[in-house]
Structure 1
Amino acid sequence: MRLKFGIKAFVYASSASVIHDAVSDLVEADDTYPLVFLPQQKELYSHSKALGDELVLAHNDPTHGFLTTCIRPSGIFGENEPGSVKSFVERVAAGKLKIQIGNGKNLFDFTYVGNVIDAHILAAQKLFLHLESPVGDESMRVDGQGFLITNDEHIPFWEFVRAIGDAAGYPTREEDVKSIPKMVGLFMAILAEWMVWILSFGRKKSRVNRMGIAYRCMTRTYRIDKAKKALGYKPRVSLKEAIRRSGGSFAVKNQKKD
Structure 2
Amino acid sequence: MAANVQKTSSLGKVLVTGGCGFLGHHIVKLIVERHPATQVSVLDLRTELNRNSNTNVSYHNCDITSVGAVQQIFSKIQPDVVIHTAGANLIAKNEVHYKVNVDGTKNLLAAAEKTGVKVFVYTSSASVIYNPKTELINADESWPLVMGKDQPEYYTHTKAIAEKAVLEANRGETGMLTCAIRPAGIFGEGDVQTLPKMVSAYQKGQNKFQVGSNNNLFDFSYVGNIAHGHLLAVQALLHTQKMMPTIPLDTEKVDGEAFFITNGQPVYFWDFARAVYHEAGDTLPLSSVWKMSQGLMYLIGAILEWLFWILGKTPNLTRQQVKYSCMTRYYSIKKAEKRLGYQPIVNLEEGVRRGVKYILQEEQKGKDKKDQ
TM-score for both structures, normalised by structure 1 = 0.90
CA distances 1:8-31 after superposition (whole Å, capped 9, x unpaired): 110001110111125642111011
Tell me the equivalent position of 2:299: 187
Q: Which moved more, 1:123-132 or 1:207-216?
A: 207-216
1:215 correspondence with 2:327: no
CA distances 1:208-253 after superposition (whole Å, capped 9, x unpaired): 4432211110010111100000000000101111111111212333
- Root mean square deviation, CA, Å: 2.2
Contact 1:24 / 1:218 at 8 angstroms: preserved in 2? no
2:317 and 2:294 map into 1 onto residues whose CA distance is: 13
Task: Give the aligned residue type for 2:319.
Answer: R
Residue 136 (structure 1) shift: 3.2
Tell me the equivalent position of 1:129: 239
TM-score for both structures, normalised by structure 2 = 0.64
1:40 and 1:205 map into 2 onto residues whose CA distance is: 26
Q: Which moved more, 1:118-127 or 1:128-137?
A: 128-137
Contact 1:109 / 1:221 at 8 angstroms: preserved in 2? yes
Residue 181 (structure 1) shift: 1.3
Cα gap change, 1:170 to 1:252, in 2 (>3 Å): farther
1:204 and 1:94 map into 2 onto residues whose CA distance is: 17
1:237 to 325, 341, 346: 346
Tell me the equivalent position of 1:77: 187
1:21 to 131, 135, 138: 131
2:174 and 2:115 map into 1 onto residues whose CA distance is: 14
Residue 63 (structure 1) shift: 6.1
Residue 39 (structure 1) shift: 1.4
2:248 and 2:192 map into 1 onto residues whose CA distance is: 43
Q: Which moved more, 1:35-44 or 1:220-229?
A: 35-44
Q: Which moved more, 1:213-222 or 1:185-194?
A: 185-194
1:122-201 equivalences under 5 Å are: 122-133=232-243, 134-193=246-305
Contact 1:77 / 1:113 at 8 angstroms: preserved in 2? yes
1:60 correspondence with 2:170: yes
What's the secondary structure of 1:141's corresponding residue?
A: coil
Any unmatched runs of 5+ in structure 1?
A: none
Cα gap change, 1:55 to 1:153, in 2 (>3 Å): same
Cα gap change, 1:194 to 1:63, in 2 (>3 Å): closer
2:305 and 2:225 map into 1 onto residues whose CA distance is: 37
Residue 206 (structure 1) shift: 6.2
What is the total number of aligned residue pairs between the two structures? 255
What's the secondary structure of 2:148's corresponding residue?
A: coil
Contact 2:116 / 2:176 at 8 angstroms: preserved in 1? no
Cα gap change, 1:39 to 1:162, in 2 (>3 Å): same
Higher relative contact order (CA 8 A, sep 6+): 1
1:183 and 1:129 map into 2 onto residues whose CA distance is: 51
Contact 2:207 / 2:277 at 8 angstroms: preserved in 1? no
Any unmatched runs of 5+ in structure 2?
A: 1-110
